[in-house]
Structure 1
Amino acid sequence: MTCMDELRFLPEQAAALGVAAPPVRRLTHTLPDGRTVSALRYGDAPPVVTFLHGAGLNAHTWDTTVLALGMPALSVDLPGHGDSSWREDAAYTGGILAADLAEPLAAWTDRPQVLVGQSLGGLTAAAVAAAHPELARRLVIVDITPGIDPDGDAAQIAAFFAGPADWASREELTARALSFGLGGSPDAAARGVFLNSRVRADGRVEWKHHFARIANALAADPDAAAAASARQGAMRGLLADSGWDDLARVTAPITLVRGERGFVTPADAVVFRERVPAAEVVDLPTGHNVQEEAPVELAGIVAEVAER
Structure 2
Amino acid sequence: MSDTEDEFRFLVEEAEEFGISGPVPAARRDALPDGDGRDVSFIRYGTGGPAVTFLHGAALNAHTWDATAVALHEPALAIDLPGHGLSQWRDDVDYRPDTVAASVFDILERLGVGPHVLVGQSLGGLAAAMIAAKHPGAVRGLVVVDITPGVTATDAAMIESFLSGPSDFGSRDEIVDYARSFGIGVSRRSVARGVELNTRVRDDGRVVFRHHLGNLGEDRPQLGRDYSAIWSGLESLTIPVLLVRGSRGFLTDELVDEFLRRVPGSSSVTLEAGHNVQEDAPVALAEAIRGLISTAGSDQPRPEDGSRA
Q: TM exceeds 0.5?
A: yes
Unaligned regions of 5+ residues in structure 2, if any?
A: 296-309
**1:157-196 matches, cutoff 5 A:** 157-196=159-198
State the partner residue of 1:298: 285
Instruction: Determine what percentage of the aligned residue pairs are the same residue.
Output: 48
Contact 2:34 2:104 in 1 (8 A): no
**1:62-211 matches, cutoff 5 A:** 62-149=65-152, 152-154=155-157, 156-211=158-213
CA distance in 2, matches of 1:208, 1:182: 18
Give the residue type in structure 2 aligned to 1:53. Answer: H
Contact 1:130 1:251 in 2 (8 A): no
Contact 2:26 2:45 in 1 (8 A): yes
Contact 1:48 1:111 in 2 (8 A): no
CA distance in 1, matches of 2:190, 2:15: 14
CA RMSD of aligned residues (A): 2.2
| TM-score when normalising by structure 2 | 0.87
Cα deviation for residue 152 of structure 1 reads 4.6
Give the residue type in structure 2 aligned to 1:68. Answer: A
Give the residue type in structure 2 aligned to 1:14. Answer: A
Contact 2:240 2:292 in 1 (8 A): no
Query: Of 252, 256, 262, which residue of structure 2 is paired with 1:269?
Result: 256
State the partner residue of 2:233: 246
CA distance in 2, matches of 1:51, 1:29: 16
| Local SS of the residue matching 1:17 | coil
Unaligned regions of 5+ residues in structure 1, if any?
A: 219-224
- Change in Cα spacing, 1:12 to 1:202, as seen in structure 2 (3 Å) is same
Cα deviation for residue 9 of structure 1 reads 0.5
Cα deviation for residue 184 of structure 1 reads 3.3
State the partner residue of 2:64: 61
Give the residue type in structure 2 aligned to 1:291. Answer: Q
Deviations 1:213-252 (A, max 9, x none): 23x325xxxxxx9xx76xx78x51xx21x11012123332
The answer to whether structure 1 residue 9 and structure 2 residue 4 are counterparts is no
Contact 1:120 1:151 in 2 (8 A): no
| Local SS of the residue matching 1:211 | helix
CA distance in 2, matches of 1:66, 1:176: 27
Cα deviation for residue 100 of structure 1 reads 1.1
| TM-score when normalising by structure 1 | 0.87
Cα deviation for residue 65 of structure 1 reads 0.8
| Local SS of the residue matching 2:205 | coil
- Change in Cα spacing, 1:9 to 1:150, as seen in structure 2 (3 Å) is farther
CA distance in 1, matches of 2:164, 2:38: 27
Contact 2:35 2:103 in 1 (8 A): no
CA distance in 1, matches of 2:181, 2:253: 30
- Change in Cα spacing, 1:158 to 1:94, as seen in structure 2 (3 Å) is closer
Deviations 1:248-306 (A, max 9, x none): 23332211112233212111122112211321122223322211121111100111111
Contact 2:44 2:78 in 1 (8 A): yes
**1:44-55 matches, cutoff 5 A:** 44-55=47-58
Query: Of 240, 250, 259, which residue of structure 1 is paired with 2:246?
Result: 259
**1:212-251 matches, cutoff 5 A:** 212-214=214-216, 216-217=217-218, 236=226, 239-240=227-228, 242-251=229-238
Give the residue type in structure 2 aligned to 1:79. Answer: P
CA distance in 2, matches of 1:200, 1:91: 24
State the partner residue of 1:22: 25
CA distance in 1, matches of 2:143, 2:159: 25
Give the residue type in structure 1 aligned to 2:261. Answer: E
